[in-house]
Amino acid sequence: MAKQLGFLVDSERCVGCHACEMACKNEYQLEPKIRWRKVYPLKEDSFGLPERNFMSLACNHCEDPACLKACPVIAYTKRDDGIVMHDQGRCIGCRLCMLACPYSVPQYSETRKKVQKCHMCAERQDNGQKPACVSGCPMEALSVIDAAEFSMAMSSKTLPGFPDTAATKPTTRFIKPSVGVQVRRDR
């Protein structure tokens, strides 16, 4: 099976601190409004009892990327390791990819008039380093996996609130938050 790199997001370890998102911004000095990675709060009662849980998402480097199909100028390519790359040089800023992506991943820069997105720190990975978000997470809640052969009993392909995965086959995998015992005065 061909290699398919993806992110493993451990939402039990994630404390929603946004360090991953800022580590990314720091690494690439992104414009203030551009977010290659975003930390989404999950609905507090998603797993029964109310809790503060999150889903940290960047590009899902889909097996069947909708952005790539929608792009009229072949700005998107998929590397052999599965990383979906976007070429700023080819991009004409038409934003069709933004309409196509179910996960709101591509970001449009008003100053550059072009789209940009997470490339899973392909260059860093080529140099044997981990993506900035992965190495920046203080909780070690993020890692890179080969989704083609990844299997973990506790993992899942989705979390409540994550869009339908059928169309593009995203490679992000999740570990669900576990809910502790709560002694509360209201229930």
Partner 1 sequence: MTGTQVFRNACPRNCYDTCAILSTVENGVLKKVDGDPGSTYTRGRLCAKGYSYTRSVYSPDRIKYPMRQKGRGTGNWQRISWDEAYTEIAQTILKIKKQYGSTLPICLNKYSGNFDIMHYGIEGMLTSIGNTTRATGTPCWPAGIDAQTFDFGTIVCNDPEDIVNSKYLIIWGANPAWCSVHSMYFIKEAQRRGCKIVAIDPLLSQTASKADLYIQIKTSTDGALALGMARYILDNGLYDGEWLAKNSKGAEEFFGYLKNNITLEWAAEKTGVPQHVIETLAREYAATKPANIWIGYGMQRHTNGGQNVRAIDALAAMTGNIGKSGGGAQYAQLETWGFNYHAMIQKKPENSGGSGDRAININNFGAEVLNAKEPPIKMLWIACRGPITQDPETAVVKKAFEAMDLVVTADMFMNPTVEMSDIVLPITTTFETPGVNVSYWHYWMSLNEQAIKPMFEAKNDVTIAMELSAKLNQMEKGSCTYPTSGDLAEWVGKEFNAGIHKQFGISGWQDLKKGPAKAKGSLVAWQDGKFRTPSGKYEFWSEEARKYGHYPLPVYVEEMKPESKYPLRCISPHWKLNIHSQFQNLDWMDTVNNAPCLEIHPSLAAKYGIRERDSVKMFNDIGYIVLPAKISELVPPDTVAVYEAWYKGKKFNVNYTVKAIPADMGKKATGSPGIAFHDNFVNIQKV
Binding region for partner 1 (CB under 8 A): 12-13, 15-19, 21-23, 25-27, 29, 32-33, 35, 39, 44-45, 50-53, 135-140, 177, 180-186
DSSP H or E segment with residue 99 = helix 96-100
Cβ at position 85, least distance to partner 1 in Å: 22
Q: How far apart are CA 150 and CA 168, in angstroms?
A: 18
> Measured from the CB atom, is 51 or 81 closer to partner 1?
51
> What 3-state DSSP class applies to 174?
strand
> Measured from the CB atom, is 15 or 94 closer to partner 1?
15
> Measured from the CB atom, is 64 or 140 closer to partner 1?
140
> Measured from the CB atom, is 126 or 140 closer to partner 1?
140
Of 114, 106, 102, nearest to 84 by C-alpha is 106
Cβ at position 129, least distance to partner 1 in Å: 11
Strands of 32-135, DSSP E: 38-41, 54-57, 76-78, 84-86, 107-109, 114-116
How far is Cα of residue 184 from the mean position of the Cα atoms in its chain?
34
Cβ at position 11, least distance to partner 1 in Å: 10
